[in-house]
Chains A and B, each alone.
Chain A
Amino acid sequence: MRRQRVWALVAALAVSLWVLLPIYLIAASAFSEQQAVYDWPKSLWPSPLSVDTLRFFFSVEGVWKATRNSLVVAGLTVLLSALLGTPAGYALARYAFRGQAAYRMLILMTRAFPLVILSIPLAQQFIRFGMYDTTLAVALVHTALALPFSVLISASVFLGIPKELEEAAWTLGCSPLQAFRRIVVPLALPGLAAAAVFSFVTSWNEVFAASILTLRERTLTAYLLSVLGEAPLPFRFAGGFFLVVPALIFLFLIRRYLFSMWGIASR
């Protein structure tokens, strides 16, 4: 029993190191002075601690704009996939309708279709609609990418809320909409938040569609991809840092909800 615990601890430690060490090294380099990047052997602690590299990163033309674009696109993606995904998830969870299994499958199939093949016709269509090189166009594509998860996660969240709770609310004077707002939403909120974070991270990290569909209105990933090749090393570390951080922060913020969603109650 005790030995098992020790091994579990060692395994957990190894996995954590595997994931966290590269992130830490990137962060350390991002917070070092610019030439520290070229030092060898590397020091494990950024010394001296400095925002020099970060300042340099944000002084480069286009970075701020790209960051703002990324936030707008991710925000729109979260909004759209929540607005579309939540009702779809609710319908999947609560109503038995003809072709439900096929519908569920279809949702997943959209992810099986490679974006690479889709991007050129999509770009063409967006040009035709005059939407090419807009944040909205990128957000629409990202919504398409995030929506399957949004639907399936919210469906499983709603499935976890007993139907009797809603029925009880109906018998106590609620209309279906009131019951949804007063009973289902509060109980589903943690799970729905997790779905939203998934959408956010999906959008924030997506590079391919964003690169194809924009020229001037680059998102951060698309922008970095286009300039990274020629950029100096410190810039790359700062860029890498800013790609990783939002996802980390968000996962950290919702970790409690993720845990409770997966049955490891933290309360």
Chain B
Amino acid sequence: MRTIAAIRVENVVKTFGRVRALDGVSLEVKEGEFVVLLGPSGCGKTTLLRVIAGLETADEGRVEIGGRDVTSLPPRRRGIAMVFQNYAVFPHLTVFENVAFGLRMRKAPAAEVTERVRRVAALVQIGDLLERYPAQLSGGQRQRVATARALAVDPVVLLMDEPLSNLDALLRLEMRAELKKLLTDLQTTTLYVTHDQVEAMSLADRIAVMKDGRIVQVDTPLKVYQEPVNTFVGRFIGSPPMNFLQVKLSNDLADGAPTVEGTAVAGPKNHQGRELLLGVRPEDLELTDARPGALECRVVVVEPLGSHLLATLEWRGQPLKATVPVDAPMKPGDTVYFEPKQERIRWMDPVTGTVVQ
């Protein structure tokens, strides 16, 4: 049985003048799923969201929402609701009328409007602000109003365009957790755009990483983090980013696999003699004793970050970063030894930057 996808995007192309903002994008969001579009600015993530919302029309390709082809429908016929980056709360209407706006457009009976507005307002904790005007609200409160306004119409899908990026850091953290709880409880299908990888990791059921108008990888946050399909994803997600070391594999095999020259680190089978990129996250490098097979590194900088130390190292002229316990004895100029966790290594092709099996 094929379940109905809440959103299905097929081969969407969108150009602005000479710029190809979306270059053949396909994506499926299942019902009740929370998918985050993540990528650097200019990667096309907002354009994709706007194409789905109907605020832009695709040059090529199809958009389906709730099993319906909406490619050429205006926004109001798509069954969506959207939260904008700058909230787009109507300044001349009270909070109540803002939240009620979509219901009023549907000519919902007054009693129903009041009932729904009160319920949604309570959900996002703005029940006591209903008579105020947006000018009298803080940024966080306006964000809540925008969310309430979108939820009030009970959309098939909720689209959110960097809804937290205009809040200060502390509030953003708070709202993030709140939003996650709210949308998990409501089971609302959500497509959420952000450039903040931490936000993406914390909120998403699945993350779609975008670059240059294409979707590079779609997977659960953990998979995207641990098993990036290319060096871009590895570097873009995670702070500090994944290390990539240029290495040469041996010609002779140990236990059926080649080793990285000068170390005991096993390389991928069937790639003996090749030059590859060894990708490893800073926390997957383990400090060990001086041991012949380990990576012998020189310490360049040590940054105490409270919960751990962040060490900037050098291995055969190549920089790499490792997180080590706070009590690790380490100072610049020291020679230290690290072993990458074998199962966490990602091997990449140095030319294409994509993963090697």
Contacts and interface: CB of A to CB of B under 8 A. Distances in A.
Given A164-B86, A170-B74, A172-B101, A186 B92 contact: yes
How many B residues touch the partner, as a band? 20 to 34
Interface string A157-191: 00000101101111111110010000100110000
Interface in B86-116: 86, 88, 90-92, 101-102, 105-106
A162 B75 CA distance: 18
Given A173-B105, A173-B153, A168 B82 contact: yes
B152 to A, nearest CB: 9
A165 B90 contact: yes
Nearest to A189: B92
A165 B84 CA distance: 9
B88 A170 contact: no
A168 B153 CA distance: 13
Given A167-B75, A173-B102, A162 B86 contact: yes
A172 B102 contact: yes
Interface in A172-218: 172-175, 178, 183, 186-187
Contacts of A187: 91-92
B314 to A, nearest CB: 48
A170 B57 CA distance: 14
A170 B90 contact: no
A1 to B, nearest CB: 29
A168 B84 contact: yes
Contact of A168 (B74, B90, B106): B90
A171 B91 contact: no
B132 interface: no
B53 A171 contact: yes
Given A167-B55, A168-B82, A173 B76 contact: yes
Contacts of A162: 86, 88
Contacts of B81: 171-172
Contacts of B80: 171
**Counting chain A CB atoms within 10 Å of each CB, which of B88, B90, B91 scores highest?**
B88
Nearest to A267: B135
A170 B76 contact: yes
B105 A171 contact: no
Nearest to A179: B76
Nearest to B82: A171
B92 A178 contact: no
A266 to B, nearest CB: 13
A102 B265 CA distance: 67
Contacts of A174: 76, 105
B105 A178 contact: yes
A164 B84 contact: yes
Contacts of B55: 167, 170-171
A186 B84 CA distance: 21
Given A165-B88, A174-B76, 7 more contacts: A162-B86, A164-B86, A165-B90, A167-B55, A167-B82, A172-B81, A187-B92
13 contacts: A162-B88, A164-B84, A164-B88, A167-B82, A168-B82, A169-B101, A170-B74, A170-B76, A171-B75, A171-B76, A183-B90, A183-B92, A187-B91
